[in-house]
Amino acid sequence: EMLDEVLQGNMKAAKPKKLLTIGYCRVSSGHQKEDLQRQKDVVSRYCEVNGYQFKIIQDVGSSLNYKKKGLTELINMICKKQCERVVVNYQDRLVRFGFEMIETICQANDVELVVINQTDNVDPNSELVEDVLSIITVFSAKLYGKRSHRNARVIQESKKLFSQADSDKDSAQDS
């Protein structure tokens, strides 16, 4: 009977399932929790006003790090067609470089990419300066981070050596 109804055109087409809108929010460091909350508020309000069923994915990490947990989850959801839209407050909150690549992935999977606050009137020289400064900041942070880890290891090893030398000295005096 169902087949006959379909063949005769009497069967109503099933409504396509509404997919989620994903709000993506990111800050560079844990010290920016207030900014992360502001982003979540702005993106949530935007989604609510537009009547979207949404989920917020958040990350704390460099915009040059493409292995963040939230970004990986977002890209997987886009590629598996589990969302219909991605909303970000600013373009650089998604990624600093390679936005066009994310945009292409979205287009290939019929996912709309919405940037709430566009910065159209940015001077190209200012944008270049910002990009260079962000690269320098990330790499200097990595360099200083490596140094601080190395210094911590040196201090720890020195303490071991000194405590070992003290115990050897004490046992020599006891003999």
Beta bridge partners of 55: 22
Q: Which parts of the chain are beta strand (E)? A: 20-27, 54-60, 83-88, 112-115
Just list the catalytic residues. Answer: 28
**Cα 126 to Cα 128: distance, rounded to the nearest angstrom:** 5
- Residue partners of 114: CB distance under 8 A and separation at least 6: 46, 85, 86, 87, 88
- C-alpha neighbours within 13 Å on the C-beta side of residue 45: 8
57, two tokens: 């994915």
Q: Distance of CA 32 to CAs 18, 35, 48, 109, 124, Å? A: 34, 5, 24, 32, 27
